[in-house]
Amino acid sequence: MITDKEGLQLAYEEAKASFDEGGVPIGAALVSADGKLLGKGRNQRVQLGSPIHHGETSTLLNTGRLPASAYKGSTMYTTLSPCDMSQGTGACILYGIARVVIGENKTFLGGEAYLKQRGVEVVVLDDSECRALMEAFIEKSPELWNEDIGVEERVYSKEGHSAPA
């Protein structure tokens, strides 16, 4: 049986691997209701040039096709509060994942309120290792971080800013 601490450690190892590859350090692991690892993954948007390979979606991809019953009562462990793009608002609810255990939500606060509203148990562990890894990444690669969370600085807009010459 995988404990919350062990589940988060699996996710952290994935986040660290992404960081080492030059990607956004977000990792995740999915554990069944009976405590067995179903899959794990990491944010690979940079590595794969993909707009959708967030940590949780990569985890689901790596888990493979399963019947809906396999997700019942399962727990998604993620190093960072889940964004609206990934399992936070969509896949977790769609597949009936019962719990989301989050390493930290200080560097980014995602769709936790929506998860709770839809009946998903949300646990925030406030893990210092997860936070330190993300802070190191944000300091090292702020442009990649801003791109990942969808707040990349616009160089042209309808608000009167002109395109660079």
Catalytic residues: 56
**Alpha carbon separation from 142 to 46, 97, 151 (Å, rounded):** 13, 32, 11
Residues pairing with 47 in the sheet: none
CA atoms within 13 A on the CB side of 129: 13
* Chain-centre distance for alpha carbon 132: 16
